[in-house]
Amino acid sequence: MKVKLFVLAIIISGFMLVACSTASTPADQPVTEEIPLVIADTRVVSEGMLVPRESVDLAFAAGGEVAEVLVEEGDSVVTGDVIARLSGRERLESGVAAAQLELQAAQSELLAAEIARKTLDDDLSIAQTQALDAITKSKEAVRTFERRVRSLSSSADQADIDEAKATVILAEDALEKAQDAYDPYADKSETNLVRATLLGKLAVAQQRYDDAVRRLNNLQGITGDEFDLTQAEAELQIAQSRLNQAESDYEMYLQGPDPDGVKLADSRIATAQVRLAAAESALLAAESTLSDLDLVATIDSIVVDLNLTPGEQVIPGKPVVTLADFSEWYVETDNLTEIEVVDISLGQNVNIVPDALPSVTMSGTVESIGDKFEEKRGDITYTTRILVDEIDPRLRWGMTVVVTFEE
């Protein structure tokens, strides 16, 4: 208000000077000079205070004994720098390590559970293929034993017997030829390639001959008796049972993975997820408790006030360090009334005169106008924030200035 009173005094003085000049003129002497008009200055004038671009008071989140102070007043710090630490880190670090191990174990368990669940789906196609293969083999076995039972329980057709006899004759001839071819090499070394080749052919010929003789005997009923028939019927029943089981398995696999296995796998996954969530929460809590021992810079700044000594006890929440960013300077007004603020706009130019240096005039720009009001000395006021273009190095944080808003 002192600035406004000063302007008002200038206006009143002007009026008084004009009145005195008029009174000194004789009544009979005509006035030839025009009375000068005194024009009031309509620019908005306000008081303000110099402040840095940003400042913050820091306090520990936890109480305890100060173990070390890592900075001094005047030091520069960047966001994340540790300013001071409390004692008791070893115990809390051990808790963090234990929480990390539990988190890793929970992650591994969840991964194993998910793999087990996925395996049920991956193995499904394999199981379906194996079931189809089992069906094919079982059907072939059933047909084979059906033929065996028929051959033992009924007489064969003469045409089948004649064909079997011919097959025996041809197989016997092939066996004799294979034997004749092998005989010259029978005494050769077992590593002799020709001997080995001929021996292999002889073995195949012998197998074919034995199969042909066996088939002929079966057709003629030479070896067929009650025991052979009973055994063949039992083998047929076993083959049919295996076929039924293979077909049942295949039908089940077509419906998807085993429901009991899926239920168990899903339950395992759910349990692992709960364990993982608990482990993550425990780790966050342990890390948060550990971080509470560190007082960390929250802005790039200068340490302007430091009230910490190693060994002292601190109270949580009580400010112990003040940081300020002096990269830019601002003026914050404190008495811009509701009548005046309507004439102020963003980007408006201002002149700034420090009370401590009245001969110095600085320029600035309105950067923000407060939305929230304050009531001061009966007036409704709003705070403006003005960016100073270039500050005099002699000025300090908190010095008062007079701000004139240019029209």
Per-domain residue ranges of the chain: 1-41, 42-88+299-405, 100-267
Q: How many CA atoms lie within 13 A of 130 on its CB side?
A: 9
Residue 376 CB partners (closer than 8 Å, separation 6+): 334, 335
For 262, the token pair is: 């899926």
Provide the pLDDT for residue 9: 44
Provide the pLDDT for residue 43: 83
Provide the pLDDT for residue 353: 96
For 222-245, how does the pLDDT look when each residue is reduced to its tens digit (9 = 90+)? Answer: 555 677 778 878 888 998 898 898
Provide the pLDDT for residue 335: 85
Cβ-based burial of 54 (10 A; exposed 0-12, middle 13-18, buried ≥19) = middle
Instruction: Say how far apart CA 42 and CA 327 lie, in whole Å.
Output: 34
Provide the pLDDT for residue 230: 84
Residue 145: enclosing H or E segment and its boundaries?
helix 89-153
pTM for this structure? 0.54
8 A C-beta contact, residue 314 and residue 308: yes
Provide the pLDDT for residue 153: 67
Provide the pLDDT for residue 34: 61
Left (φ > 0), alpha (ψ -120 to 50) or beta: where does 350 sit? beta
Residue 19 CB partners (closer than 8 Å, separation 6+): none
For 197, the token pair is: 């080749």
The list of the chain residues with pLDDT below 50 reads 1-25, 27, 38
Any idea which architecture 42-88+299-405 has in CATH?
Beta Barrel (2.40)
Provide the pLDDT for residue 156: 63
Instruction: Say how far apart CA 161 and CA 172 lie, in whole Å.
Output: 16
Alpha-carbon Rg for the chain in angstroms: 53
